Amino acid sequence: MTDLQAPADRVEIQALCAEFTDAGMQADFERLASLFTEDGAWRMPHLPAEFETRAEIRAAVTRLRGLWEFFVQNTHPGTVRLDGDTATGRAYVVEFGRLRDGTSHLNYALYHDTYRRTPEGWRFAERVYEVRYYDTTPLPGTAPEPNTPIETGASHT
């Protein structure tokens, strides 16, 4: 019989990474923080910033996201290396947005992750964000107002 635990673990870890992006995009910071172990750490050396508990992570992401007029993050699966109840991996990230002060940011980056199996499922023990490309060219677009049609210039008949 084939051992299905390793493929199941990989699927759960990839789902964890997707959940992180979704929680951030939906501004569900309680859910985002819950994806870390109680003593989990989220590190962003380029800021520099480190948050080392769920409570610190929740407070930090709430504060940081409040600085943005709009923010979009896309995450692409990377590698996962399993080692029993722990694993390491990477996730590739493209994100852009405009801060409320009018500055724009486009990042190509990656997360270096350490995962731990918990009674709640796989969680981040550590996420370290590494920026590989950074562009502050002003973004020409804007975020649409909620429930407002986007004017495309195309005729709709």
The pLDDT profile of the chain, 157 residues, written as one tens digit per residue, is: 468 999 999 999 999 999 999 999 999 999 999 999 999 999 999 999 999 999 999 999 999 999 999 999 999 999 999 999 999 999 999 999 999 999 999 999 999 999 999 999 999 999 999 999 999 999 998 888 877 777 766 655 5
DSSP 70: E
Distance CA 148, CA 145 (A): 6
Give the predicted TM-score (pTM) of the model: 0.89
| pLDDT tens per residue across span 112-155 | 999 999 999 999 999 999 999 999 999 998 888 877 777 766 65
Is the link from the previous residue into 146 a cis peptide, with omega within 30 of 0?
Answer: no
Class of domain 5-135: alpha beta
Write down the domain spans for the chain.
Answer: 5-135
